[in-house]
Every structure is written in C-alpha cells, then in structure tokens.
Amino acid sequence: MMQKQWRLAARPDGIPDRSHFALTDAPIPSLEPGKAVAKTLYLGVAPVMLRYMRNETEFESPIALGAVMPGRGVAQIIESDCASLPVGAVVQARLGWQEYALIDESDRPAPFLLPTDLPLSHGIGAVSLSGVTALVGIRDIGAVTATDRILVSGAAGGVGSHVAEIAKALGAQEVVGIAGGPEKCARLQRDMAYDQVIDYKNADVDLALDTLFPEGIDLYFDNVGGALLDNILGRLRRRARVVICGSIAEYLTETENKHRFINLQNLGRQDAKMEGFFVFDYEEVYPQCIQMLATWVREGALNPVEDISQGIETLPGALADLYLGNNVGVRMVEVGQPDLPL
C-alpha cells in the first residue's frame, strides 16, 4: 500500500511556493517493535517551518534536501506495539507531511493523547500547542492580572486568536489586538473576544496606541517583533511584562537588516520585564494545559477559529498563507478521516 509525502525540493529565498516541494509516493510504513503506525488526519503549519527549510534554526535539525517535510499533526493509531499509543487513540504527534507515519515515544515533545469528544481539528490549535503557547505565554510568562492593559500582536493568527479568550478566562478585563486588514479586525472583535482592535495595515498605529493606551501598556504579547515591538517598548507602564512569543515580521529578514532597537532602556526605567519562551520546553505542563483548554472549549469560554483546507496537496499553499497574511485563526490541512471508531 502506498501513501503520499511532501519532500523538500529546494531552499526558498523568500515565501515558499509549490516549486520548493516535491509530492512523492512511498510505501505505508510497517509496524516496528516499540512503535505505532499512525494515520494522519490533520497537519498544522507554523511560521518556523520556513526557517527549517532555509536551514536557519538552532533548535531543530535542519531539513536535508529530499527529506520528508517535518510537522506535527493529529493522527489515529491504526497499529501499535506501544502501550501508551493504543490502537484507535487519537494523538498529537510529530508526523511529517505524509499520510501515514511510524511514531514512538522518543520524540520531544512526545506524542500526547487528545480528547475525542471535541472536534479533532482542535488537536492542531486550541487544545494543542497553539493553545498551550497562548496559555503559557499569557499566564506563566506574562503573569496576567485582572487590571492589566493588554496588547496582542498577530492577534488573528493561530496563537493570537486564542490569547484574548484565555486572558479573560484568567480574569483579564480588556484586551486589544493588532492585525492586518478590516476583515481580520472585524473577526477579532466578533469571534475572538478582542475589545478594541488596531488595523496596522490601514490605521495610524501611533495614534491608535496613544488613544487606546494613554497611560501605557502593562502586558504585551508579541508574535511579530521588529519595529512594532520597539514601539511598544517605548510605551510600557511600570512593572510591565513583554512576552516574546515570536517575531514573524523578521523571519525573512537578513541579520544585517533586522530592526535596531532604540527603546530597550525603557525596560530598566519602568522596572519592566521582557521574556521569551519556547513551547517545546514546557512539555511537563502540557497535560494540565490541555485539560484546562479543553474545559474552556466545552464551557464556551474558548471558541477556536480554524482555517482548514482539504487534502494533503494544499500543504505548500497553507504554509505560504502564513507569510502572505491569508489565514484567520489556526491554519491547517485536513488530510484524512479516522478509520476506527473514536
């Protein structure tokens, strides 16, 4: 039996397109001792994948040309010789861009079981690593409080789309989001619990920040980096917290052209704190976070916004969408249906 796989065909200079990938056929893997065969149901895409393709990152192995594209997703176990991955279970795991994968517990983060009473697509976003990233960022790094004046950039993206609802579930009163374009900004308010929005592509951002934060910002959740981060650093209140989640505005920028910060000293003046984090290093809190996120979804406090295309063929376009600003919410691809009862 054969399956489809996407392999890296060329390293992109900028936003990737179809020519950087090759769609190939390969045998479905056979079961091996201590492992499980998983059928892919959904695959997620993440901005950082472009950095793997360009061989730029320190924290994952570079992808060799010709190798199957790495990526995490939701899968159902169809054969198993691993007690923690029983046949029929639905897991979030490192699958790669392929229809079937041989997985085991040795990956870090290890595969984890997903609740099956919720839509399985949530295992890519809200009840998975996007949700955990938003939760760890706003709660553990940002130490959100009820009185914080909060700003989130990349607010309509995979992580950002969860931040306002999670902040409010933790007691926050008001959250402002920044995103690009009127449609996204309308959805921030309608579907993602943002109270005020700034359309950075059409509004005067300085004027909007002056108006919405006349006394400054207590908590900034940053998905974008660069000049916007620098601007916010100049607007911090005393004991503000800046959460460095990501810097998508600069992932395609050569080192010599990256933004030179002029407002860093304001951290000292305001007794403020700026801290980054990498969700893969928080594996010990995944079970507690997943349970909390799933409960919020069941109770209606967290309403995942998902942007799903159909078929493994759509993966290259899905990754490009992140850099083109085409996605609203968590961008993912539906690859297959479960074969076994849930």
Ligand X SMILES: NC(=O)c1ccc[n+]([C@@H]2O[C@H](COP(=O)([O-])OP(=O)(O)OC[C@H]3O[C@@H](n4cnc5c(N)ncnc54)[C@H](OP(=O)(O)O)[C@@H]3O)[C@@H](O)[C@H]2O)c1
Q: Which residues bind ligand X (CB under 6 A)?
A: 46-48, 130, 133, 154, 156-160, 179-181, 184, 223-224, 245-249, 277-279, 322-323, 325, 327, 331
Residue 79 vs 321, nearer CB to ligand X: 321
Phi, psi of 2 (to 5 degrees): -110, 160
171: left (phi over 0), alpha (psi -120 to 50) or beta: left
Residue 12 vs 79, nearer CB to ligand X: 12
What distance in Å separates the CA atoms of residue 129 and residue 278, rounded to the nearest whole number?
A: 11
Residue whose entry in the numeric block shows the structure tokens 């000292």: 268
CB 109 within 8 A of CB 283: yes
Cα Dmax for the chain: 64
Q: What angle do CA 239, 296, 195 make, to 5 degrees?
A: 50
Residue 249 vs 315, nearer CB to ligand X: 249
Residue 239: both structure tokens together: 């004991």
**Closest approach of Cβ 177 to ligand X, in Å?**
9
Burial of 148 per CB tally in 10 Å (0-12, 13-18, 19+): buried
**Closest approach of Cβ 125 to ligand X, in Å?**
9
**Closest approach of Cβ 286 to ligand X, in Å?**
12
Residue 296: both structure tokens together: 């919020």
What distance in Å separates the CA atoms of residue 295 and residue 77, rounded to the nearest whole number?
A: 24
14: three-class secondary structure by DSSP: coil
Q: Pairing relation of β-strands 175-179 and 150-152? A: parallel
Residue 37 vs 176, nearer CB to ligand X: 176
Residue 71 vs 336, nearer CB to ligand X: 71
Residue 251 vs 295, nearer CB to ligand X: 251
C-alpha distance across the termini of the chain, in Å: 24
